[in-house]
């Protein structure tokens, strides 16, 4: 279909679109109009999405910190209305945050009751690390064969960042970079199913892993453990890499169990005082 505009520089529909006196395809005009409308509205939508994501991250960090510091106790209810009022938002991003925190082991969402802080036991720790030891140890053994010089250089660079973060006492950043180190050699194992299994496991028990790294001196020990792993990878010594990863995970479990036991003893002493 062809249309003609007799007036030179005629404006279309108040959109600021001008056409010269020539034949134009109607499809071209409609495309231009639609694109103009989308470009005008998209920045607003993008800002809304960014704000939504930022608030969700703030909620996640607030609840994680409160649980790890003991401000929020196991079994304590986490109130949606209180969070909505505090952050000045609807309940949608709060519920999204609750779902993620449940997947990480921080919360349990109970029908008709809401979200409560998940309880942790020594058995939870023992069972998680028993599985982690086997899977990550096997991944390290396979990775020792496959890691390239470039991969090992990246592991060393990551560990240098970890050493700096440990010196600064930045547990949250250390935790994220620590994951980069392990993710690299687990991927290098070359087994997609193994990678998926480990990833699902560590996400589910993120709370335990962060709690372990938060213990005094644990970050510095982790950096040294990584140095030993890197040496094993350089020598393509799969058995040693396996043993080192297993040993590191065992220490992580022991440190966390001792911390939980000490906290329980302190709480009992306060109650009996």
Question: What is the tens place of the pLDDT at every residue in 119-164?
Answer: 888 999 999 999 999 999 999 999 999 999 999 999 999 999 999 9
For residue 65, the model assigns a pLDDT of 87
Looking at the structure, tell me whether residues 128 and 192 fall in a common domain.
yes
pLDDT band at 12 (very low <50, low <70, confident <90, very high): very low
Average pLDDT over all residues of the chain: 83
State which residues form the domain around 136.
122-272
Q: State the sign of the Cα–Cα–Cα–Cα dihedral 113, 114, 119, 123.
A: positive
Looking at the structure, tell me whether residues 112 and 144 fall in a common domain.
no
For residue 165, the model assigns a pLDDT of 97
Q: Is the pLDDT of residue 265 over 60?
A: yes
DSSP 168-213: HT-HHHHHHHHHHHHHHHHHHT--HHHHHHHHHHHHHTHHHHHHHH
Looking at the structure, tell me whether residues 89 and 161 fall in a common domain.
no
In a domain, 11, yes or no: no
For residue 188, the model assigns a pLDDT of 98
Looking at the structure, tell me whether residues 226 and 198 fall in a common domain.
yes
SS3 state of residue 83: helix
Q: Average pLDDT for residues 25-36, to the nearest whole number?
A: 61
Looking at the structure, tell me whether residues 105 and 131 fall in a common domain.
no
Residue 7 CA to residue 221 CA, distance in Å, equals 78
User: Domain with 87 in it: what CATH number?
Assistant: 1.10.10.10
Token pair in block for residue 214: 């938060």
Looking at the structure, tell me whether residues 142 and 231 fall in a common domain.
yes
Number of structural domains in the chain: 2
In a domain, 22, yes or no: no
Beta bridge partners of 108: 116
Looking at the structure, tell me whether residues 174 and 146 fall in a common domain.
yes
Give the global pTM: 0.70
User: Domain with 148 in it: what CATH number?
Assistant: 1.20.120.530
Question: What is the tens place of the pLDDT at every residue in 171-223?
Answer: 999 999 999 999 999 999 999 999 999 999 988 888 888 889 999 999 999 99
Picking from 100, 117, 134, the residue at the C-terminal end of a domain is 117
Question: What is the tens place of the pLDDT at every residue in 74-113?
Answer: 899 999 999 888 888 888 889 899 999 998 889 999 888 8
Percent helix, strand, coil in the chain, to 5, is: 75, 5, 20
Looking at the structure, tell me whether residues 108 and 129 fall in a common domain.
no
Looking at the structure, tell me whether residues 147 and 186 fall in a common domain.
yes
Give the residue from 159, 157, 135, 152 showing the smallest Cα distance to 188. Answer: 152
């Amino acid at each position: 279909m062809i249309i003609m505009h007799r007036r030179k520089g005629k404006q279309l529909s108040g959109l600021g679109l001008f056409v010269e006196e020539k034949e134009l395809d109607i499809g071209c005009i409609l495309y231009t109009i639609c694109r103009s409308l989308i470009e005008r509205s998209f920045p607003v939508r993008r800002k809304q999405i960014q704000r939504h994501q930022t608030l969700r991250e703030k909620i996640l960090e607030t609840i994680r910190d409160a649980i790890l510091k003991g401000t929020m106790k196991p079994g304590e209810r986490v109130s949606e209305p209180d969070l909505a009022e505090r952050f000045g938002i609807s309940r949608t991003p709060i519920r999204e945050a609750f779902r993620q925190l449940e997947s990480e082991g921080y919360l349990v969402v109970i029908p008709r009751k809401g979200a409560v802080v998940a309880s942790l036991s020594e058995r939870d720790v023992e069972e998680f690390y028993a599985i982690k030891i086997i899977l990550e140890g096997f991944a390290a053994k396979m990775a020792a064969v496959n890691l390239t010089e470039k991969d090992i250089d990246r592991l060393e660079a990551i560990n240098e960042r970890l050493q700096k973060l440990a010196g600064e006492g930045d547990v949250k950043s250390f935790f994220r970079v620590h994951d980069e180190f392990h993710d690299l050699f687990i991927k290098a194992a070359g087994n997609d199913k193994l990678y998926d299994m480990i990833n699902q496991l560590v996400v589910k028990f993120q709370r335990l892993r962060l709690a372990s790294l938060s213990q005094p001196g644990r970050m510095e020990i982790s950096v040294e453990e990584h140095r030993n792993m890197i040496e094993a990878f350089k020598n393509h010594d799969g058995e040693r890499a396996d043993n080192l990863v297993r040993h590191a995970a065992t220490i992580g479990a022991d440190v966390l169990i001792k911390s939980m036991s000490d906290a329980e003893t302190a709480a009992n002493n306060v109650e009996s005082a």
